[in-house]
Amino acid sequence: MIKKILLLFMFMITSLLADAAIDYKATAFKLYINGKMNQWQSLIDKMNSDVNFKTTDDKLEILNYYYGLVGHLIDKKEKDEASKCLTKAMKLADELYIKNPDNAVLLGLISNLTGFQIALSPIKATVLAKGMLSKSKKSYALAPGNPEVIILHSNIQLYMPEIFGGDKQKALSGYKKALKIMELNPKYMKNNWMYIQLLTSIGLVEEKLNNLEAAKAAYKKILDMYPDYAHVRDIMYPRLLERMKS
């Protein structure tokens, strides 16, 4: 009997240690680099069920992954899955907003998630666009030196139609500002999927502005650091090289 109790105790301790050893940020980053973002939902589910992962910062990290996953699903034309994921994200965002109405990162994430709502259902733009822009501006006003906030604000500037204030050049300037801040502080770069997304976004906007050599430099920088990053290696970089030949 005592032996069974000891074995059970050891099993419980081992399980607890295994859970404690999970580095969610590193795991998410590895999945991102390896083109396995669809597995983020399972990771998010694990984070949500982790009793030791319940602070506001923890929940903001979860919301950050929801933001990345919804964007990925929209890019992949998986609209039904994107819509389901977005519903969960907005529920969490609403819960956080009640207690944290002036959290700059939260406001930026809500603004971008609202942008996804519009992307999935453009007819909602007349109702949602004003709130999206308001939260984006407030987010940036509260924390103009936070690189995540700058990225989220620049996303709105990039994807909003020009008639409503969209501006690719301003978006690019914002992205470059965020990049400079991130690269001056290693904590922003370590296992941060948004750093790689930022470099990718810079390359994409440079392409849109016909700055092809600058776009090439951005993609090359990514591949020098992460040669296995399939999205740039297999899609964006080869596409750019073909364009540069013509």
In a domain, 58, yes or no: yes
Q: Would you call 32 exposed, middle or buried from its count of C-beta atoms within 10 A (0-12, 13-18, 19+)?
A: buried
The predicted pLDDT at position 3 comes to 54
CA distances from 198 to 14, 65, 121 (A): 38, 15, 26
Whether 219 is covered by a domain: the verdict is no
In a domain, residue 182? The reply is no
User: Between vectors from CA 31 to CA 28 and to CA 32, what angle results, nearest 5°?
Assistant: 85
Answer whether residue 77 is part of any domain. yes
pLDDT at 111: 98
Domain count, the chain: 1
Task: Report pLDDT for 162.
Answer: 82
What's the confidence (pLDDT) of residue 142? Answer: 98
Which one-letter amino acid corresponds to residue 221? K
Within-domain flag for 226: no
In a domain, 2, yes or no: no
Mind listing the pLDDT tens digit of every residue in the chain (246 residues)?
565 554 554 545 444 444 445 899 999 999 999 999 999 999 999 999 999 999 999 999 999 999 999 999 999 999 999 999 999 999 999 999 999 999 999 999 999 999 999 999 999 999 999 999 999 999 999 999 999 999 999 999 999 888 777 899 999 999 999 999 999 999 999 999 999 999 999 999 999 999 999 999 999 999 999 999 999 999 999 999 999 998
Instruction: Identify whether 177 is part of a domain.
Output: no
> Which structural domain, as residue segments, surrounds residue 138?
25-143
153, part of any domain: no
The whole-number pLDDT of residue 163 equals 75
Contact between 93 and 222 under an 8 Å Cβ cutoff? The reply is no
Query: What integer pLDDT is reported at residue 1 of this predicted model?
Result: 57
Count of Cβ atoms closer than 10 Å to residue 102 Cβ: 11
